[in-house]
Structure 1
Amino acid sequence: MPQFFLNKRLIILLISIIVLVALVGFSLRDRENASWPEQFVKDVVGFGENIVSKPVSFVSGTIGSLSNLKNTYQENERLKKRLEGLTQLESKVADLTKENKDLKESLNIQDSIRDFDPINATVISRNPTNWNEQVEIDKGSRDGVKPDMAVMVPGGLIGKITSTGAKSSTVELLSSSDTRNRASAMVQSDPNAYGIINGYSNKDKLLQLKQLPYNMSFKKGGKVVTSGLGGKFPAGIFIGTIEKAETDKMGLSQTAYIKPGADLYQLDHIIILKRTAQTTDSSASDDKGKMTTGGE
């Protein structure tokens, strides 16, 4: 009798395994419609998920909305403070502009090295093999473009015109490896410090501002602009901010590493700066000699 029940249990186990394997094989085969047990299970599970997920989603959305509302309020307060400061700054700039104009008229000054006429252009070509060297633009000599004119984007200076055709020109970027590619620059400090933008670190993505006085200290974040002393570039065009400064090997000058204000990697629309204050060849050469040969 015990042997019979033992065999009976074994038979039931084998039948159960066979049924289970059959059900698994049936469920795994390619079918467009699920069986009614599968549909029932799916419906029950889906109903349960809806019951749980909707309240959770509601609570999560409410908390997220409250968090966004708080962030919006805080951002709004910050923007209000900045707007108040901007209003004061605009008023101050307007007063200084009027005062500057009155002083120019009283001294009979017609042009300034800061003045320029903008020429808008679009980048039409950029070779991947010299991506950091040059770009081609759609304005040329017929549009008033000449070699050595400064080129910028809203973020700051990006380079200068090196050659022109009738309807196109080549712009050499500040990140170019050409050692002759230089720009006369000024660190806005008290007093101001003058140097030459000459060199670019591809690793750090930083410009090199060389020939700075050895006895001056430069803080991170200091603003660097064009000096206008090279005779070609207008003065006061933003270049970037100081990241660090190091004394050279001889100890006679310093080199500052500048984070460019402009995105030199992504360039679409640019502005060519036609300086209105012109210099004679001799005076331009004198200015260059004061700074260094080839500075703009």
Structure 2
Amino acid sequence: MKTKNQSSLPSKYWLIIVIVICVILMGVERITGGNGPISFVANYTVIPMQKGIGYVGRYMSDLSDNFETLQDMKKENRKLQSKVDDLTIDNTRLRQDQYELERLRELYKLDENYSDYKKVGAHVISNNGSNWFSDFTIDKGKKDGIKKNCNVLAGSGLVGIVTEVGPHYARVRSIIDDESNISAMLLSTSDTCVVRGDLKQMENGRIRFEKLANNDNKIEVGEQVVTSHVSDRFLQGLFVGYVSEVKVDSNNLTRSGYITPAVDFNKLQEVLVITTTKDDLIKQESADTKGE
């Protein structure tokens, strides 16, 4: 049979002891003016805890404010980005319009230079897949008065000739194509030559001419080359380009060299098609002669 521990105190006595100790400590605290043991314990336990709780509270408050500010900044950033995108699109359109206007001005000047001929404007819609527009298609055809052998202009001069025509399209072979050859002449001397297309030479920005008479006429770099009056497919006087190099051939009878074309065949977008062919002019001249 177990017996109770006689040395243990009842709970009420412990409570009385604790109360007495608290009263004593409070009294000492009051007498010492707040420098007693309670303040000492509080300084090292309660106050740091209060400071920590306050710091955490402020941190959470700042975090919440920063989160709201961040969300507002993200919304504002999205709005600004949208405006930037709109302005970028508008700027791109304006630049495209400006470039198109410049190209159309060039075509207008070209139209004025060859005002004796009736012409139709057209857009290039495809090429043969190479870097050079040696063979390409335009968006005008028979319905617009275009026919085979119509001469085509762009930039500052001759582009090529129409080789195939549909109701609403036409194919053009340019003067740089390997199959192209033109009867041309030096504008200053009227000496004739043959201009041949050469895509390999176009890598150096030039095409070849040959069969130029080796006579007393001096030919210098920069001389203008135009289509000649004896060409059976090209109208007379269409600007081909500038002489960039000339030399006497081994036979000592002819000269040959290279021409810098008047047209940038790396980027064609719009062209002018002369709807009157050389054959039309010959027929018209023949009819006028008979009428006389």
TM-score (norm 1): 0.52
Identity, in percent, stands at 28
Match of 2:211 in 1: 211
Q: What CA distance in whole angstroms lies between the structure 2 residues aligned with 1:251 and 1:203?
A: 29
Q: What CA distance in whole angstroms lies between the structure 2 residues aligned with 1:137 and 1:249?
A: 42
Find out whether 1:186 has 2:189 as its counterpart: no
Find out whether 1:158 has 2:171 as its counterpart: no
Q: What CA distance in whole angstroms lies between the structure 1 residues aligned with 2:115 and 2:235?
A: 5
Question: Alignment RMSD, CA only?
Answer: 2.5
Highest Rg: 1 or 2? 2
TM-score (norm 2): 0.53
Q: Which runs of 5+ in 2 are unaligned?
A: 1-113, 287-292
Shift of 1:146: 1.3
Shift of 1:134: 0.4
Letter in 2 for 1:199: G
How many residue pairs align between the two structures? 168
Match of 1:144 in 2: 145
Shift of 1:172: 0.5
Shift of 1:145: 1.0
Residues 166 and 132 of structure 1, relative CA distance in 2, 3 Å threshold: same
Alpha-carbon deviations, 1:79-105, whole Å to 9, x = none? xxxxxxxxxxxxxxxxxxxxxxxxxxx
Q: What CA distance in whole angstroms lies between the structure 1 residues aligned with 2:146 and 2:169?
A: 9
Shift of 1:240: 0.8
Q: 3-state DSSP class of the match of 1:175?
A: coil
Are the counterparts in 2 of residues 124 and 137 from structure 1 also a CA contact under 8 Å?
A: yes
Match of 1:20 in 2: none
Alpha-carbon deviations, 1:166-214, whole Å to 9, x = none? 1101110111011xx222211111x321112113213322121221111
Runs of 4+ in 1 over 6 A off after TM superposition: none
Are the counterparts in 2 of residues 132 and 264 from structure 1 also a CA contact under 8 Å?
A: yes
Residues 164 and 185 of structure 1, relative CA distance in 2, 3 Å threshold: same
Q: Which runs of 5+ in 1 are unaligned?
A: 1-112, 284-296
Q: What CA distance in whole angstroms lies between the structure 2 residues aligned with 1:143 and 1:172?
A: 19
Shift of 1:159: 0.8
